[in-house]
Amino acid sequence: MKHSGKISFFAGFAVMLAVGWAGFPRLLYRGTPQPLSFSHKVHTGEKAGMKCEDCHVLRASGSFGGVPALESCAGCHAAPMTGTAPEKRLIDNYVTPNREIPWLIYSRQPDNVYFSHANHIRLAKLACKQCHGDHGDTDTLRPYQEDRVSGYSKDIWGSSISRISFGRGRRDGMRMDDCVSCHREHKVSDSCLACHK
H/E stretch holding 144: strand 144-147
Helix, coil or strand: residue 58: strand
Among left, alpha and beta (phi > 0; psi -120 to 50; other), residue 63 is beta
Closer Cβ to other proteins, 64 or 103, answer by number: 64
| Rounded (to 5) percent helix, strand, coil in the chain | 45, 5, 50
Closer Cβ to other proteins, 119 or 159, answer by number: 119
Closer Cβ to other proteins, 47 or 187, answer by number: 187
Closer Cβ to other proteins, 148 or 196, answer by number: 196
For the CB of residue 114, give the shortest distance to other proteins in the complex, in Å.
6
CB 52 within 8 A of CB 61: no
Amino acid at site 85: A
For the CB of residue 121, give the shortest distance to other proteins in the complex, in Å.
8
Amino acid at site 23: G
Give the contacts of 58 (CB within 8 A, at least 6 positions apart): 64, 65, 117, 118, 121, 122
For the CB of residue 171, give the shortest distance to other proteins in the complex, in Å.
18
For the CB of residue 35, give the shortest distance to other proteins in the complex, in Å.
23
Binding residues (CB under 8 A) for other proteins: these are 58-63, 111-112, 114, 116, 118-119, 122-124, 186-189, 191-194, 196-197
